[in-house]
Amino acid sequence: MDTLPRDVAHLVAYWTEASPDREVVRYGKQSWTWSEFSDRIDRNAAGQLAAGMRPGDRVAYLDKNHPACLETALACLRIGTANAVVNFRLASDEIRYVINDAQARIVFVGTEFLPVLAKIRDDLPTVERVIVVGGEQDEYEAWLAGVEPLGDTEPGDPEACFIQLYTSGTTGFPKGAMLTSRGLTAHSVSSADVTVMEPDSVSMVAMPLFHVGGSAWALVGLFHGAKVVVVRDIDPVALLAEIVDQGVTHAFLVPAVFGFLLQVPDVAERDYSRLVALFYGASPMPLPLLRRSMAAFPVDFFQVYGMTEASGGVTMLGPDEHRDKTNEHRMTSAGKALKDVELAIVDPVSGDRCGTDEVGEVWVRTPQLMAGYWHKPDADAAALTDDGWLRSGDAGHLDADGYLYISDRIKDMIISGGENIYPAEIERVLAEYPDVAEVAVIGVPDERWGEVGRAIVVAKPGVEFDGEALLAFCRQHLASFKCPKSVSVVTELPRNATGKVLKRQLREPFWAGRETAV
């Protein structure tokens, strides 16, 4: 396609005029054309206005993936409100916190989450109306039908938030990252050269819409006129069937989902002739899993490194690097910066720029950045510099060719005897050990060194795990000071809703009773 919408605020009008009768959204057995999708968005916007919503107000959306969430976000974009998408996997107290933090006036809730909402309803002082989406108790369709579609209006301030996504909250309370038309347009444009989506593409939206890998990925597809297939649940067998039956060309999945798909017995025997590209990110992909995935799906693979605060991906490792046998080490990199993205590696203590191959904190500057955290000026000051850089909190380095390598989260760094040790580097080595299914490395107290590494391992089924053999394997591949000193075997690793390992939870038993966990 030679032309694209000028921004995400105009994408619906643009594609509705260009292709009014072309299918754009598929959800199970339901589907909508661009003209139908546009009408639903206009009615959602009109319904919000009829309810007294004003620019800057928030609605909250609590449900698994459903097209209504996208309709609500795009309606918010039309009238200046914002959709605070709630992580449905949170506990009820956490859900209460997010809705109250957003000061939501309307809550859209999926039928299966009505009991959760009922439990906390009396503690939601700003909520004026609850609208049920889906199921036998659905109120959403009647709500849309009860208003006339909003007429032509000019979109509001491109710097205003219209999607508010809450950070995963691995430490402390989650923060609402305010994503804007400006930022998400920049993300959609920067992705254009690498995703190569077109109006005849079919993009699978399988990651939850409360995550940037769901919402931003959906908008990339819509921006390029592609049909989006919205998947409600991650069921490996059903997901593979959907890829084949719907002729999916593009999909973004987290590494854990690839692991689930590879457990389906005939995964490599299906017809993937329409599939063009698979994107992965949000957490590291162990090399053994990546190699198995590439063998099962003979398509282009892209690794994406990004963050909620940057509206999605900021770097990408493309298919050429995935197939480059002469530079296989690059498969462990996060790739190169996307268009209009600047990267810097900065010493987190001194603030000095690091040299080539020196590890420091990854800083990002791009038009994709969020407007800030909702009502969190202290968090803004900690994350955003006066000259427009976002401190990512990730440790990493840039090589001489501009490839970014992520070492770890700065907070997960182990300081042992004055040496900085990054668990992700160790985990990549341990993941290659034949008996390891999953592994996480944490720092635990040590009287001599302050803290040392400990490997927390999920063993492959049916093996009698030998921790000493694992440590010996590690010493063959890494400097001895980096290697863990002990091993624990567990049945599973605790993860948050996006698949990231909760290392804080792993560390807690070892640091209990101490004033600091360092």
pLDDT score, position 296: 96
pLDDT at 516 over 70: no
The model's pLDDT over 42-75, given as tens digits with 9 standing for 90+, comes to: 999 999 999 999 999 999 999 999 999 999 999 9
Angle, nearest 10°, between helix axes 212-223 and 11-18?
40
pLDDT at 168 over 80: no
Q: 259: number of CA atoms within 13 Å, CB side?
A: 14
Q: Which of 191 and 110 is assigned the larger pLDDT?
A: 110
* Burial of residue 509, with CB atoms counted within 10 A of its CB: 0-12 exposed, 13-18 middle, 19 or more buried: exposed
The model's confidence at residue 282, banded by pLDDT at 50, 70 and 90, is confident
pLDDT score, position 418: 61
- Only one residue has tokens 């396609």, namely 1
pLDDT score, position 170: 44
- 32-50: burial string, b at 16+ Cβ within 10 Å, e else: bbbbbbbbbbbbbbbbbbe
Residues in the chain: 518
Whole-angstrom distance, CA of residue 171 vs CA of residue 173: 7
Angle, nearest 10°, between helix axes 212-223 and 181-190?
70
The model's pLDDT over 318-342, given as tens digits with 9 standing for 90+, comes to: 999 999 988 888 988 999 999 999 9
The model's pLDDT over 220-247, given as tens digits with 9 standing for 90+, comes to: 999 999 999 999 999 999 999 999 999 9
pLDDT at 1 over 60: no
The model's pLDDT over 14-49, given as tens digits with 9 standing for 90+, comes to: 999 999 999 999 999 999 999 999 999 999 999 999
Q: Over pLDDT 70: what percentage of the chain? A: 96
Whole-angstrom distance, CA of residue 361 vs CA of residue 410: 7
The model's pLDDT over 496-510, given as tens digits with 9 standing for 90+, comes to: 766 778 888 999 899
pLDDT score, position 172: 58
Whole-angstrom distance, CA of residue 427 vs CA of residue 441: 6
**DSSP states along 481-503:** GGS-SEEEE-S---B-TTS-B-H
Report field, pTM of the whole predicted structure over 0.75: yes
